[in-house]
Amino acid sequence: MDDTPTGVVNVEIFGQQYPIRSELDHVYVLKLARYLDRKMQAAAEQVHGGDSVRVAVLAALNIADEHFKTLAAQEDREMDAQRLALELEQLVDEALEQS
């Protein structure tokens, strides 16, 4: 029988076991942990001989970079959508003026 308390997911990140207490879906927490583990493995390849804290900081910076790039791309899409809506509004106004 599993002795893991309800709401706790055991994950492995960078070779260490962590019991994660969360209300999030069990599978989602595992997915997050696998993602972080991959990021830390990639960071470790960049910092040969670095300790786990240094690797974690580099992984966190890489994840933050991804996040900010995603936000910027989202803002660009929103601006494009606003621009297109304005252009469409102008076309409708022009069409109404001609009728």
DSSP secondary structure code for residue 5 in this structure: P
Sign of CA dihedral 12, 53, 24, 62: negative
pLDDT, averaged per 10 consecutive residues of the chain (99 residues), comes to 74 97 96 98 89 95 97 95 94 90
Sign of CA dihedral 53, 58, 62, 64: positive
What predicted TM-score, i.e. pTM, was given to this entire model?
A: 0.75
